[in-house]
Amino acid sequence: MKINKNNIFRGGLMMVLAGTMVGCSDSFLEQDPLSFYEPATTYSTEAGLQAALAQCDKQLKTYRIDGNWNNVGIFTNYLMSDVGMYAKTDMGGGFQDNFDAKLTPTSGMAGGGDGNYMQRFWDQGFSMVKYANTILSYIDNVKGLDDATRDAYKGRAYFHRAYAYYNLALQFGDIPLVTKLISVPKRNYTSASKEAIFKMLVHDLEFAVQHVPAQANMSYVGQVNQEGCMHLLVKCYLAVGEYAKAEAMATDLINNHGLKLMTENFGTWQPSGEENTWKVTRNVVWDLHRTPNIANPANKETIMMISNSNDQDFTTYNVMRACFAHWSNGIIRDPHGLGGPGQNIARNNGDYNAELDWVRAAGRGIAVNRTSYYYNKTIWNYDGETDWQDLRHNREVGNWMEMEDFKYNNKKSDFYGKNYQLYATEDYVDPSDPSKVLVHKGDILCSDTIRSWYPTPLYQVYILDTPNEENMGANQFQGASGKGANGDMYLFRLAETYLLRAEARFYQGNATGAADDVNAIRKRANAKKMFTTVTIGDIMSERARELYLEEFRQAEMVRVSWCLARSGKPDEWGNTYDLNTWDKQEGTDLKGGSYWFRRCTTYNVFNHDYGKGQQGNQTFEYKINKHNLFWPVPNSAITANNKGTLRQNFGYDGYNDNIPMWTNWEEAVADEESAN
């Protein structure tokens, strides 16, 4: 039976938190009568379970991207991090800068669009929980399944629920624990502590590791496999302080599952958009990030991937548009003051020049999101020297692109074919009036450096825009812009497993062993410097270099902050953290706060005078509060739970430490059982 993953779940299934597989009203606790099918009948067969599992698999993609033309959801986890910043300077009141003032339980959290995706992460996270709970609620009633098949379904459902709660708890803190499909409305949820939630995730994932087949024993890629369960379990072991178990599980995954770091060129060769404009010399890091190679059997580094290359459920992934500098907007002048020298010129245009086709080489970026100075510069510098041989930062092979690598492509410019300049190198006078200086030596030539002047890891953001590539009149190359494009993504790959094991070793006092794991990643990248010992800062910097736009950066920074507080190990500055207070601090001063706060304010512009300014009509102040470590629980969820009281996170309106919460996940589950 062929399952149409797009259509199988039509019929009002947008319940946010306590949903069943029936229709619902706007309140996340209200339930309407059954929709066009009877769930007990639909999920009485294996085909019904397969449909629910297909929806779970699709949610892994829906959680990251939603097809928005200008933005990509995952970058919301970079807006308050050491790595990224919001950059769309014509956004007006929706500009994402001062989270201290703008982020509250009743405002500041968007469900998508050109702002942020915080509310969407809440909604889609609990939708993922709902679909997983559907499988777990009906699996034992399906006849004809042998024990191994039944347990594999359960294990995969546990994985999906664990993945959702892993991110939800690290984004929103102490939240309701929903493990059942309820038969009657439940409006008296009690929040569960993130500690309790993670202990449940460990319990569930240990079951999944035992019962979900290894990828070698599966016919398809993109479904939950044993290796994916192991990788997620490693993360959960770290969160609960089981560092030895985390190290052992990571070692097993690295050594015993046919996986390896890719160190040689492989798979499909896919060059840059226009080799005459920007030449990429084939290298393993470039090959590793080409979307056709993510699911390629030759790629032994893929642990688990997200499919986004079939017409049935393709989702637009315009990462080049959302994250590349806005180079063609007229804000960058040439050294003679000519506005708008950067043009996105179609191939059927008479002014087209294949050596200056930047729109196909770099995309038509509009810079909704940009990288920080720390990511662009600081982490590539060692002992006063910039490492340009690291393949992840290598301009010579074409993986990395600085703005100075662009060339003016407006034929009206005297600098046509010459490299961009940020500052004028000499005075330029009006040819008709030599007494009039149009451009002074040293004048800045880019009037919006937030949005239009920063480098890009091209190997990470370039996606062949197949639909536009086939259109000679196209001048808007975006990424995976439509059906026919390949927008496959990594969920987990082995490079992160090495860095997770480095963490586990670091927390156990084995900084030398941790360095070996970091060096394994650095050797593959041909980095100059190797470590003999590492700090947690070295590990986090390596994550930034290796996993940009793959990891949920803020969520991982929160997890590491928690791990430091639990382990008692110092950060790179020698600070230690108290497990009782690491997530309960207030203020915008630069003293104290969690490890997340210290990294954000040390390595990014937050809470500094140089993080304030004005661009055109946009006044901005990049600012965070220590309590922004977690996002607020949406007020709509709290008010809908009108027969109980959910906890709000520390520092936000409505926080009350006296509100009870579950600290034992078994008790939270038992309370759910009593409602049915």
Q: Does 433 map to a domain?
A: yes
Alpha-helix runs per DSSP H in 473-535: 494-507, 511-524
pLDDT tens digit sequence for 433-464: 999 999 999 999 999 999 999 999 999 999 99
Q: Does 346 map to a domain?
A: yes
Domain range enclosing 280 = 263-299+308-487
- pTM of the predicted protein model: 0.94
Q: What is the mean pLDDT of the chain?
A: 92
Q: Rounded to an integer, what distance in angstroms lies between the CA atom of residue 464 and that of residue 466?
A: 6
pLDDT tens digit sequence for 242-274: 999 999 999 999 999 999 999 999 999 999 999
Domain count, the chain: 1
Strands (E), 37-127: 84-86
In contact, 267 and 292? CB cutoff 8 Å: yes
Three-state SS for 653? coil
Residue type, 409: N
Q: Which two tokens stand for residue 331?
A: 């804000």
In contact, 317 and 69? CB cutoff 8 Å: no
pLDDT at 38: 57
Mean pLDDT of the 170-174 span: 98
Mean pLDDT of the 128-139 span: 94
Task: Give the DSSP letter of residue 633.
Answer: P
Q: Rounded to an integer, what distance in angstroms lies between the CA atom of residue 519 and that of residue 542?
A: 9
In contact, 645 and 635? CB cutoff 8 Å: no
Q: Does 114 map to a domain?
A: no
For the CA atoms of 342, 346, 348, 350, what is the dihedral angle to 10 degrees?
-10
> Given 3-state DSSP classes, what are the helix, strand and coil percentages for the chain, each rounded to the nearest 5?
40, 10, 50
Q: Does 103 map to a domain?
A: no
Q: Does 475 map to a domain?
A: yes
* Interacting residues of 545 by C-beta distance below 8 A, sequence separation 6+: 379, 380, 390, 392, 393, 525
Q: Does 613 map to a domain?
A: no
Mean pLDDT of the 554-564 span: 98
Q: Rounded to an integer, what distance in angstroms lies between the CA atom of residue 387 and that of residue 522?
A: 12
Strand partners, 371: 84
pLDDT band for position 337 (cuts 50, 70, 90): confident
Q: Does 291 map to a domain?
A: yes
pLDDT at 183: 67
In contact, 115 and 91? CB cutoff 8 Å: yes
* Interacting residues of 232 by C-beta distance below 8 A, sequence separation 6+: 159, 162, 163, 166, 205, 492
Cα 156 to its chain centre, rounded Å, is 22
Q: Is residue 22 pLDDT above 50, yes or no?
A: no
Q: Rounded to an integer, what distance in angstroms lies between the CA atom of residue 501 and that of residue 579?
A: 22
Q: Does 275 map to a domain?
A: yes
Q: Is residue 29 pLDDT above 90, yes or no?
A: no
Residue type, 401: M
